[in-house]
Homo-oligomer: A and B are copies of this chain.
Amino acid sequence: MIQNEKEINAIVHQAEGGFQFLQQSNVIERAELMHTIANEIEAIGKVLIETAHLETALPIARLEGEKARMVNQWRMYADAIHTGLYSEARIDKSADGRIDLRKYNKGLGPVVVFGASNFPFAFSTAGGDTASAVGAGCSVIVKAHPAHVKTSQLMADAIHRGILKYGAPAGVFSHVRSDSFAIGAQLVQHPLIKAVAFTGSFAGGKTLYDLGQSRPDPIPVFAEMGSINPVFVLPDYLENNLHAFAKQYIGSLVLGVGQFCTNPGVLIGLEGENLDALKIHLKKEIQTIPGGKMLHRGILESYDRLRSERIQWDGVRILAEGEDSMQEGFAQAMLMEADAAQVLINPLLLEEVFGPFGLVVSCTDIDEMTSLMKHLPGQISLTLAASADDMRKYQALFTVAQDKCGRLLFQGMPTGVEVRYAMQHGGPFPATTDSRFTSVGPDAIKRFLRPISFQNWPNEFLPKELQDSNPLQIKRLINQDWAT
């Protein structure tokens, strides 16, 4: 356990050394380092799954899938930097030799990562933030999540084995164990730290963001702070998909005991017979859902408290509940309902209840639905459960929706975040602190880069990414044309 500022300072200086090493590396070398780390993580064996299962209560099958995703992230991001996509090499040379300007992206510097409790692999110690920062050429300091420190240590050890095998200095990756908020704050405020990534609550993320901005030299703090991921169901679609939609919504709502940042916490429809029928279907679906064990006591307590608060609020009614497992640490799924008019005057109803909780909102007409959408804070995702006819009829909703989210779904449910180039996981504040970046998919690498131009540099001193012969064979924009 890290105890004091002196130890933090030593760790950050070691990370600065790691950064300087990575800064001398090119994208091909870094890709190799990342694959070497991926091999070591992949090789950890069943102790990793077993430890994570004990620490998080997440099912074995889910953890196995998540481990594969974690390994895949390292490999995919390695392959992505290998192409030079994120180097963004640009060379401008004038025929008369007067201008020789070359630009590429380099790492920002040492990065601090605060992992999430709900993804002990994919968003934690060896998760997407760490992989994308290393891909960018940044060293990483992970503050281990207190809810799964043993799992975290196993991954940190694997990363260190990879680093050693590749021949990089240990400072490329550091693992800090501490229960103290002050230690995290010291990391964020250390002058050598150049960026922060966080996944978790709004309170936690915003606090770190403010710490980063109030430094003498502000730094980017990428905080993903959750979302209610509203689902708007439109009349024609609802008419034809009553039962299937109810089943799909409840399935998504209770997936992983509702502990996903893309959990669809609000369902919005137009009042009438079909919405009444939908409610009956939703009720039927949720009533058979058994309780599920939550990640840790703190999350369950918060879930129970937020549900209880809402029951007291004007115009909020319980629509249906899942089974009560009567087991220590288990959460009961729940649906509440309210009218849009009520939601519009009580914006707290649009705050996240982390867990298997859904609020069904009835709008009197499409204008009220549009108003409600305009009223929404920024979201990671927004879903239009609509038919093509609905889309043609209610075009305005589509326009408004684009201002409100990072990912806009047509039908389907927002849970299930694909690690792809086209994924945007991040939305307007307060979903994240910076809607311009994603924390999932290779584009997550962009968060930790900054460009530097070299003017009139002799070829031999330039980074390989910018040398005349293009030794790394990457894609480059030369005098406004793409060339390999």
Contact = CB atoms under 8 A, between A and B. Distances in A.
B429 A217 contact: yes
Most chain B CB within a 10 A radius of its CB, from A213, A429, A430, A452: A452
Contact of A410 (B103, B108, B218, B454): B454
A424 interface: yes
Interface string A199-217: 0000000000110010001
Contact of A92 (B102, B109, B399, B418): B418
A69 interface: no
A313 interface: no
A480 interface: yes
Contacts of A91: 422
Most chain B CB within a 10 A radius of its CB, from A20, A378, A388, A451: A451
B449 A424 contact: no
B106 A402 contact: yes
Given A106-B402, A399-B23, A451-B443, A408 B217 contact: no
A455 B410 contact: yes
A99 interface: yes
Interface in A376-434: 378, 388, 391, 398-399, 402-403, 405-412, 418, 420-424, 428-430, 433-434
Contacts of A103: 421-424
A209 B220 contact: no
B102 A422 contact: yes
A230 to B, nearest CB: 15
Nearest to A80: B480
Nearest to A400: B20
Given A108-B436, A402-B23, A421 B458 contact: no
Interface of A: 20, 23-24, 85, 90-92, 99, 101-103, 106, 108-109, 209-210, 213, 217-218, 220, 378, 388, 391, 398-399, 402-403, 405-412, 418, 420-424, 428-430, 433-436, 438, 443, 449-458, 460-461, 475, 477, 480, 482
Given A85-B477, A408-B452, 7 more contacts: A101-B420, A220-B436, A388-B458, A407-B455, A408-B453, A408-B454, A410-B456
Sorted nearest first, the 4 A-B pairs with minimum C-beta distance are A424-B453, A101-B422, A217-B429, A90-B422
16 contacts: A23-B399, A92-B422, A99-B418, A103-B422, A218-B429, A398-B461, A406-B452, A407-B454, A408-B455, A410-B456, A410-B457, A412-B456, A423-B453, A424-B452, A435-B450, A436-B451
